[in-house]
Structure 1
Amino acid sequence: MESLWRSATFQAPNPEDYGGIEFWSNPERSGWLTRQGDYIKTWRRRWFVLKQGKLLWFKDSNVSRLSAPRGVIPVSSCLTVKGAEDVLNKPYAFEVSTTQDTMYFIADSEKDKEDWINSIGRSIVQHSRSVTDSEVVDYDLKR
Structure 2
Amino acid sequence: MIASFWRYATGSSTSTQQTEETQYDGTQFWVNPERTGWLTKQGEYIKTWRRRWFVLKQGKLFWFKESIINRTSNPRGVIPVSSCLTVKGAEDVLNKQFAFELSTNAETMYFIADSEKEKEEWINSIGRSIVQHSRSVTDSEVVDYDNFKR
By the TM > 0.5 criterion, same fold? yes
Tell me, in whole angstroms, the C-alpha distance in 1 between the residues paired with 2:34 and 2:64: 16
- 1:88 CA displacement: 0.2
Question: What is aligned with 1:50?
Answer: 56
Query: Would the aligned equivalents of 1:53 and 1:124 in 2 still touch at CA under 8 Å?
Result: yes
1:130 equivalent among 119, 132, 136: 136
Secondary structure in 1 matching 2:121: helix
Q: After the TM superposition, which parts of structure 1 deviate over 2 Å for at least 4 consecutive aligned residues? A: 14-17
Question: What is aligned with 1:104?
Answer: 110
Change (3 A) 1:60 1:97: same
Tell me, in whole angstroms, the C-alpha distance in 2 between the residues paired with 1:50 and 1:131: 24
Structure 1: runs of 5 or more not aligned: 1-13, 133-143
> TM-score normalized by structure 1?
0.80
- 1:18 CA displacement: 1.0
Aligned length: 119
Question: What is aligned with 2:41?
Answer: 35
Question: What is aligned with 1:94?
Answer: 100
- 1:131 CA displacement: 6.1
Tell me, in whole angstroms, the C-alpha distance in 2 between the residues paired with 1:46 and 1:19: 22
Rg: which structure is higher? 2
Query: Would the aligned equivalents of 1:81 and 1:97 in 2 still touch at CA under 8 Å?
Result: yes
Query: Using CA pairs below 8 Å that are at least 6 residues apart, which structure has the higher relative contact order?
Result: 1
Tell me, in whole angstroms, the C-alpha distance in 1 between the residues paired with 2:54 and 2:23: 16
- 1:130 CA displacement: 1.9
Which range moved further: 57-66 or 18-27?
18-27
- For residues 33-90 of structure 1, the C-alpha deviation after alignment (integer angstroms, 9 at most, x for no partner) is 0000000000000000000000000001010110010000000000000000000000
- 1:115 CA displacement: 0.1
> TM-score normalized by structure 2?
0.76
Tell me, in whole angstroms, the C-alpha distance in 2 between the residues paired with 1:77 and 1:129: 9
Query: Would the aligned equivalents of 1:17 and 1:72 in 2 still touch at CA under 8 Å?
Result: no
Structure 1 residues 10-21: aligned runs within 5 Å:
15=20, 16-21=22-27
